[in-house]
Amino acid sequence: MAEDTVTVIDNRTGKRVELPIRKATQGPDAVDIGKFYRETGYFTYDPGFLSTASCHSQLTYLDGQKGMLMYRGYPIDQLAEKSHFIEVAYLMLYGELPQQQELDDFRNIIMHHTMLNESLKSFFRGFYHDAHPMAIMVGVVGSLSAFYHDSTDINNPRHREIAAHRMIAKMPSIAAASYKHSVGEPQVYPDNSLSYTGNLLNMMFSVPCEPFVLNPVAEKALDLIFILHIDHEQNASTSTVRLAGSSGANPFACVASGIAALWGPAHGGANEAVLNMLDEIADVANVPKFLARAKDKHDPFRLMGFGHRVYKNYDPRARIIRSMCHEVLAQLGDANDPRFELALRLEEIALSDDYFIERKLYPNVDFYSGLIYSALGIPTNMFTVMFAIARTVGWVAQWMEMISEDNQRIGRPRQLYVGPTQRDYVPIKERPLTPPG
């Protein structure tokens, strides 16, 4: 029996199967079950992928028990404190922190891909004024492949790199245009002399009739929040991007599928849902009623911004954003924003409640981020759009990692079939009035 294997014994037949162990550089090793069906005749069954690794990756690692997250080996708290979004984006794409010239060149490339094709403007006008910006993002990003035929050959590394640069660069422009459409204001062209987040704020909030004054606190706060949202292993939206990419779909369509998956309230849509929940709770006196609902299995209500598939400790990103809240609200918003006070009290009460303690339900990245977005003047329906802008770096980095692998295969899960066994067609005149069973 080799030491780097796991032996599975089928108690029905006594058959023993040895499965190889794949070693991790950090965190759990994995049992390679690629031959499991061929050797045993069984599928493995793991809806939601609680114990299943869908791939190997060198990008991001998180330890759910310790509440730890690192990008390319660098702890998130160090990157949050010492780096900035464009530098971390470079790190995710290329694997190492850049030299100054590499960083300057990368920033220059990104900031010179920020403009949108003029004919895209008609896309925004086609949406009803109250269209949710995430609906617009899915549509417009998915359409980009119609404009950029020169970077959709996924087998060409240079095309992959250009497509990645374009998406990172254009997401803020598309997001800002989605916002401007929803408020009936004219689109604002990018200003390449500004920072990545300064440019976004300018495109969202400047108007032709008066000069725009960029607030450096807002610019820095958004840059920090974007670093925290860049990537997070094989979360639902990233797994969607990888699955779409495994079929050979173009990178713009893959990222559009990721945006669609991120929109769900159980995932990236939670930041918007948290603010709506805080508004619904309204007063700390109502917290017990809502906690009771969160525990009630017959009530679909969940405490939004709480819990996580992997973190069974405080989400390190939530910890960083929470400490940022005080500073940003004091400088930008309302230091006494009743919703921040309510969020702090809600967190305190929930974390002392047995239901949440037993299930290790802690605040996640979405619990506090919306409060800062609000302080920056960003409307609630744009919160998940902000998440999508930042996560585009992770999506394209994960997509590039997958596509560049030699033995990359289409993702095609199997299933446990529990439907009707084979039966013959019955002519309509002979069908029993009450179906069998």
Contact with ligand SDX (CB under 6 A) among 59, 201, 241, 294? 294
**Count of residues of this chain found to bind ligand SDX when the rule CB under 6 A is applied:** 21
**DSSP secondary structure string, 93-124?**
HHSSPPPHHHHHHHHHHHHTS-PPPGGGHHHH
Helix (H) or strand (E) holding 398: helix 383-403
Least distance (Å) between residue 51 CB and ligand SDX: 12
- Near ligand SDX by CB under 6 A, which window of 16-24, 306-314, 319-327, 328-336? 306-314
Closest CB to ligand SDX among residues 220, 312? 312
Q: How far is the CB of 269 from ligand SDX (least distance, A)?
A: 8
Applying CB under 6 A, among 83, 182, 199, 235 the residue interacting with ligand SDX is: 235
Binding mask 110-149 for ligand SDX (x = CB under 6 A): ----------------------------------------
Residue nearest to ligand SDX (CB): 307
Q: Which of 304, 324, 385, 397 binds ligand SDX (CB under 6 A)?
A: 304
Q: Looking at the DSSP assignment, which residues form a beta bridge with residue 61?
A: 70
- Active-site residue list: 308, 366
> Under rule CB under 6 A, which residues in 254-283 are in contact with ligand SDX?
266-268, 270
User: Taking Cα atoms as reference points, which of 149, 165, 62, 73 lies closest to residue 392?
Assistant: 165
Beta-bridge mates of residue 8: 17
Buried b (16+ CB within 10 A) or exposed e, 204-216: bbbeeeeeeebee
Nearest to 62 by CA among 362, 428, 414, 310: 310
**Sign of the C-alpha dihedral, residues 129, 133, 134, 138?**
positive
Among 67, 307, 316, 370, binds ligand SDX (CB under 6 A): 307
Stretch that binds ligand SDX, among 12-20, 79-87, 302-310, 319-327 (CB under 6 A): 302-310
In the complex with ligand SDX, the residue whose CB is nearer, 89 or 154, is 89
* Per CB under 6 A, 386 contacts ligand SDX: no
Q: Does 308 bind ligand SDX (CB under 6 A)?
A: yes
Paired residues of 22 in beta bridges: 30
91 vs 274 by CB, closer to ligand SDX: 274
> Does residue number 84 form part of the binding site for ligand SDX (CB under 6 A)?
no
Q: Where are the alpha helices (DSSP H) in 296-364?
A: 316-331, 338-350, 354-358
Two structure tokens written together for 187: 């689109």
Contacts of 197-203 with C-beta under 8 Å, sequence gap 24+, read 197/85, 197/222, 197/223, 197/226, 199/111, 199/114, 199/172, 200/172, 200/175, 200/176, 200/389, 201/376, 203/172, 203/173, 203/176, 203/177
| Residues lying near ligand SDX in the complex (CB under 6 A) | 48, 232, 235, 266-268, 270, 294, 302-309, 359, 361, 364-366
